[in-house]
Amino acid sequence: MIKVIDWLKQNRKLLFSLEITPPDRGKSMDDILSSIDPLMHFEPQFINVTYHQPHMVYEEKDGVITRRPRRKKPGTVGICSAIKNRFQVEPVPHLICGSFNRYETEDTLIDLHYLGIRNIMALRGDPPPGQARYIPEKEGHHYANQLVEQIAQLNHGKYIDDLEDPFPTDFCIGVAGYPEKHFESPNLDKDLRYLKGKVDAGAEYVITQMFYDFRLYREFVEKARAIGIQAPILPGLKPLVNRRQIQTIPSSFHVNIPAELVAAIEEARTKEQAFASGIRHMARLVEELIAYGVPGIHVFTMGQGHAARALLEAVFAGKP
What integer pLDDT is reported at residue 320 of this predicted model? Answer: 46
Domain at 4-316, CATH class: alpha beta
Q: Does residue 44 contact residue 16 with C-beta atoms inside 8 Å? A: yes
pLDDT of residue 58: 53
Q: How much is the mean pLDDT over the chain? A: 92
Q: What is the pLDDT of residues 208-233, one digit of tens each?
A: 999 999 999 999 999 999 999 999 99
Write the burial class of residue 69 (CB in 10 Å: 0-12 exposed, 13-18 middle, 19+ buried).
exposed
pLDDT score recorded for residue 59? 60
Q: Cβ distance 250 to 212 under 8 Å?
A: no
C-alpha distance from residue 124 to each of 10, 69, 84, 143, 242 (Å): 29, 18, 25, 6, 30
The continuous run of DSSP H or E covering 64 comes out as strand 64-70
Helix (H, G, I), strand (E, B) or coil at 37: helix
Residue 243 is predicted with a pLDDT of 95
CB under 8 Å to 112, separation ≥6 — which residues?
Answer: 77, 80, 93, 95, 120, 171
Is the CB of residue 219 less than 8 Å from the CB of residue 247? no
pLDDT < 50 positions in the chain: 320
CA 153 to the chain's CA centroid: 22
Residue ranges covered by each domain of the chain: 4-316
